[in-house]
Amino acid sequence: MVHHLPETLSPPALREMVRALRPEGRVLIADFLSPTSRIRRHLIDPFTSPRYAEQPLHLLDGMVREAGFEQVRNGDVHPWIRYVQGMKPTSAP
């Protein structure tokens, strides 16, 4: 759901996730990768908004860290999914 938020609301939403989790609780954010081939874009574009192609998934790691999560990891489940995982520290309020 993070991609549905305006860019200005993503950081506060992630901070709220940190606040709501118990210590050592985990968050997993997964989203679709933008198609890289022209054929895939042609097949998917009619069913998605322009924002789908412009998703700043490369910024998500930093946003999760800045929100207060630790042990941030990321990866891709090719060809469709990008994920970022983080854990709330034990000392966080």
Higher pLDDT, 36 or 60: 60
The structure's pTM equals 0.75
Task: Write down the pLDDT at residue 21.
Answer: 96
Predicted confidence band of residue 39 (pLDDT cuts 50, 70, 90)? confident
Rounded (to 5) percent helix, strand, coil in the chain: 40, 25, 35
Task: Write down the pLDDT at residue 3.
Answer: 72
Task: Write down the pLDDT at residue 88.
Answer: 97
Distance CA 3, CA 33 (A): 12
Collapsing DSSP states into helix, strand and coil, what is residue 14? helix
Predicted confidence band of residue 27 (pLDDT cuts 50, 70, 90)? very high
Ordered domains of the chain (ranges, CATH): 2-87 (3.40.50.150)
Q: Please state, for a pLDDT cut of 70, what percent of the chain lies above it.
A: 77
